[in-house]
Structure 1
Amino acid sequence: MEKENAIYLITGVMAAGKSTIAQLLSERLEKSVHVRGDVFRKMIVNGEVQMSDTPSKEALEQLLLRHRLAAKAADMYFESGFNVVVQDVIIGPMLGDMVEFIKSRPLYVIVLAPRPDIIAAREFSRPKKGYGKIEILSLEKVLQTETPRIGLWIDSSHITPEETVEEIISGLDKEAKIT
């Protein structure tokens, strides 16, 4: 894969396979790190405001903080010579914001977009259900109608995680690279 280090931003709605794909991709890269954006939310001991279909101003501010922290962590690892795979739910206009927050280049954006019925089945099978108080279809609507069409979009509904990683690798320079 890449000889120089890079940042790979993997996004999609809940249960799209972001964690699995980000980990598999990280394992394929030399000197790599997997930045899980949700870890910054989990650091809040008191005062966390969960997202909902109609998020409060504070919930949006906390989400923005989480994205900025993930971007700074990614840039710092990158500056230290690591390949960085950042993974989180970053949809709607916030995807464009996140691309701006990450200063290092090359940057590759990968959007995992399996069908809603596949997402629902995956989410149902999880021990912890839901992303705050957000409905799957609400997230899917934001993904499909409000998210900028940048990067490589993959419908991973019927391909394995390994096949998804192969598709990412083959589409890096053609579609995923942000200039």
Structure 2
Amino acid sequence: MSAGIYMITGVMASGKSTVAELLAQRFDRSVHLRGDLFRRMIVRGREEMLPEPSNEALSQLDLRYRLTAAAADGYSAAGFAVIVQDVIVGPALSQFVSYIKNRPLYLVVLAPSEETILRREAERSKKGYGLWSVAGLNRLLQQDTPKLGLWLDTSSLSPQQTADEIWNRVHTEGLLFEA
């Protein structure tokens, strides 16, 4: 499998972190780039993304995406396989893809059922949903996100099975997304 940039997105509790880490472990040189790190680096003045975000929250989200893409391009140019993991839903997905310049670019959207997301959220110690509802964020994913790349319903797949599926699909089918 060639090195490249692998974008793993989906709603909170869809398995992005675990699957991204499992994919990163398959390469000799790899980076697991968590886009949320750039949000957390803002010490003062951070505006959180809410269901009805402020203009400043949207600007900071776009900054986070641009910084993530620039870091992904930098690591990729240095010969690392880069696995980017973040919540990138709605029209922002197309914008984010346009920020990444290096190729090959593989895009995977983890899209388990709403029931699965609710169960996974209840089972994990980290809680992602505050003011967001699972139904609301999942609706944004399912209805407003462009159908780019490979969409996987991972409801019945373990994280390892999901990583295997992505690995096998990229290896046998080639590019999942090419701008």
Q: 1:70 to 1:131 in 2, by over 3 A?
A: farther
What residue is the counterpart of 2:133 in the other structure? 135
Looking at structure 2, the residues matched to 103 and 175 of structure 1 have their Cα atoms a distance apart, in angstroms, of 15
Q: 1:72 to 1:131 in 2, by over 3 A?
A: farther
Looking at structure 2, the residues matched to 134 and 49 of structure 1 have their Cα atoms a distance apart, in angstroms, of 15
- Ranges of 4+ aligned residues in structure 1 off by more than 4 Å: none
Following TM superposition, by how much is the alpha carbon of 1:130 offset from its aligned partner in structure 2, in angstroms?
2.6
Give the root-mean-square deviation of aligned CA atoms: 1.3
- Deviation larger for 15-24 or 41-50: 41-50
Q: What is the percent sequence identity of the aligned residues?
A: 51
Question: What does the per-residue CA deviation read over 1:44-101, in whole Å, with 9 as the maximum and x for residues that have no partner?
Answer: 1111111111111111111111111100000000111111000000011111011100
What residue is the counterpart of 1:19 in the other structure? 17
Amino acid in structure 1 at the alignment position of 2:127 = K
What residue is the counterpart of 2:111 in the other structure? 113
Amino acid in structure 1 at the alignment position of 2:46 = E
Pick from 144, 147, 160 the counterpart of residue 146 of structure 1. Answer: 144
- TM-score, normalised with respect to structure 1: 0.94
- Deviation larger for 165-174 or 28-37: 165-174
Looking at structure 2, the residues matched to 110 and 61 of structure 1 have their Cα atoms a distance apart, in angstroms, of 25
Following TM superposition, by how much is the alpha carbon of 1:170 offset from its aligned partner in structure 2, in angstroms?
2.1
Looking at structure 1, the residues matched to 69 and 129 of structure 2 have their Cα atoms a distance apart, in angstroms, of 21
Q: Is the 8 A contact 1:35 1:70 kept in 2?
A: yes
Following TM superposition, by how much is the alpha carbon of 1:39 offset from its aligned partner in structure 2, in angstroms?
0.6
Matched, 1:81 2:79: yes
Pick from 40, 43, 46 the counterpart of residue 44 of structure 2. Answer: 46
Looking at structure 2, the residues matched to 133 and 105 of structure 1 have their Cα atoms a distance apart, in angstroms, of 36
Following TM superposition, by how much is the alpha carbon of 1:126 offset from its aligned partner in structure 2, in angstroms?
2.7
Aligned residues between the structures:
177
Q: Is the 8 A contact 2:105 2:175 kept in 1?
A: no
- TM-score, normalised with respect to structure 2: 0.94
Matched, 1:178 2:178: yes
